[in-house]
Amino acid sequence: MKKIIIKLIVLIIIIFSIALVFKYLMNPKNEKSIDFTPETIKNTRAIVYFSPTADNDFDNQAISYAIFIDHKNNTKGLKMKGLELGSVLYKNNTILLEDKNSIKLLDDEVKIFNMDDKQYTGELTGYLKPNDIFFSIYNTGLINGQYHSNIRYGNANGFKLDDIPSYIFTSGSDQSQIYLMTSDIEKGTYEVQTATINDKIQINILTSLRELYGKDLFPLSGILSNDTNLYILYGEPINDNEFTISLLSVNKVTGKQQINLLKSEENSNISAYFPYSVKSSSSIIDNTLYYVDGTGAVYSIDLNTKNMELNFTLKGASNKGNRVISQVKFYKDSLFYLYRSQKEKIFLDRYDLHSKERNQHNEIKGIHPILSENNGKNLSSYDLEIINP
């Protein structure tokens, strides 16, 4: 009888400890913390991912936040470990959240997958529908002279870790494949690779981009795709005050390439034109590629003629590169824009891409108090995901 009582006490202690850990993960000290229930997804309009930069995490004390915005424009935060360029994804009625040490899947319940690896800089997060696989790719860095990009992948049954032995210039995915534009920095070469995931990741080279060899380029978009081609927007510096914008098209089967010079930008502050987020800066809708630069200019590119036009400019956007709280997200025929005004208020606007008009303008409440608990780190927005607009 005594042994049974001891076993019961031990079991109660274990259950209580698990409950405390879960409470800590899902309810940080800030009173505006998220208490996840099956109704949370239904009541969430959008989620914003905030984190410090990787070089601000040498003491391993950096934190990130997934801030949930409800339909009344109130907010609650989920505190996690820091991850520069971290992502949030909503696919298959499931929210994926990532941080340095873990992957979280939120649907009818919360599933937390702790990973043995630590990551510091995100690259791409997506979902491959045929195999029901979520994935996240990370800029891992040099290991023994070879550049590596780690990938976590899995689903509710668990997550695995694999390696992509390349530096990723930019990336993207469709429903069944991952697309990578890789670069050998020392040799100055570029390739387009495709990747599929079953039990392991399988990588194949689609084509070498010989016309770009030796050029100093920077990405302006992720890799976008339609039925026949992949599309990548990239910039190339001319001098300290000027750069060009070009569109690379690659046939998905043959690897045949076409490069179209679209325009040039000239300004003493070139970085102000860099997009808020490379992975969210563009989208293809009805054979038109839309692109938003860092000044809030929204462009359309006809994929037949390769003609680029300025459609409209986001209201409230800064042309000085101030983007601590600035993110865009394409959603069907709409563009959502999260920003902080000059009066320190935060808004989430919605634009109709066809009418070019702003049709929603909502002040978001409560983000500043959540971000104030930051372990002395400066937090920036890195991703915006629309859940139920």
Residue corresponding to tokens 């590119």: 301
Partners of 107 in the β-ladder:
none
CATH (residue range 33-386): 2.120.10.30
Q: Kindly state the average pLDDT of the residues 240-261.
A: 97
pLDDT band with cut points at 50, 70 and 90 for residue 34? low
- CB neighbour list of residue 44: distance below 8 Å, 6 or more residues apart: 68, 69, 70, 387, 388
Buried-state track 345-368, b at ≥16 Cβ within 10 A, e below 16 = ebbbbbbebeeeebeeebebebbe
Most confidently modeled of 3-7, 297-301, 339-343? Answer: 297-301
C-alpha span between 286 and 284 (Å, rounded) = 7
Check pLDDT > 70 for residue 8: no
Count the residues in the chain: 389
- Do 207 and 255 contact (CB within 8 A), yes or no? yes
pLDDT band with cut points at 50, 70 and 90 for residue 55? confident
Q: Kindly state the average pLDDT of the residues 89-109.
A: 95
Q: Kindly state the average pLDDT of the residues 159-171.
A: 97
Check pLDDT > 80 for residue 297: yes
- CB neighbour list of residue 101: distance below 8 Å, 6 or more residues apart: 81, 114, 115, 118
pLDDT band with cut points at 50, 70 and 90 for residue 27? very low
- Do 208 and 201 contact (CB within 8 A), yes or no? no
Tokens standing for residue 348: 């989430």
C-alpha span between 253 and 170 (Å, rounded) = 19
What pLDDT is stored for residue 75 in this prediction? 97
Check pLDDT > 60 for residue 383: yes
Tokens standing for residue 196: 């599929």
Name residue 201's amino acid: I
Percentage of the chain lying above the pLDDT 70 cut = 91
What pLDDT is stored for residue 113 in this prediction? 97
| Residue 31: count of CB within 10 angstroms of its CB | 10
Tokens standing for residue 362: 């909502």
DSSP secondary structure string, 354-387?
TTTEEEEEEEEBSHHHHHT-STT---EEEEEEES
C-alpha span between 117 and 100 (Å, rounded) = 8
C-alpha span between 99 and 203 (Å, rounded) = 25
Half-sphere exposure of 227 (CA within 13 A, CB side): 2
Partners of 264 in the β-ladder:
244
When computed from its CA atoms, the radius of gyration of the chain, rounded to whole angstroms, is 22
72, 168, 221, 292 from 274: Cα distances, Å: 32, 18, 10, 9
Tokens standing for residue 226: 């339609």
Q: Kindly state the average pLDDT of the residues 119-125.
A: 96
- Do 205 and 231 contact (CB within 8 A), yes or no? no
43, 75, 328, 365 from 36: Cα distances, Å: 11, 13, 25, 19
Check pLDDT > 70 for residue 326: yes
Tokens standing for residue 237: 């510096």
What pLDDT is stored for residue 17 in this prediction? 39
Q: Considering only CA atoms, which of 64, 27, 24, 34 is closest in space to residue 387?
A: 34
Tokens standing for residue 52: 């410090």
What secondary structure letter does DSSP report for 2? H
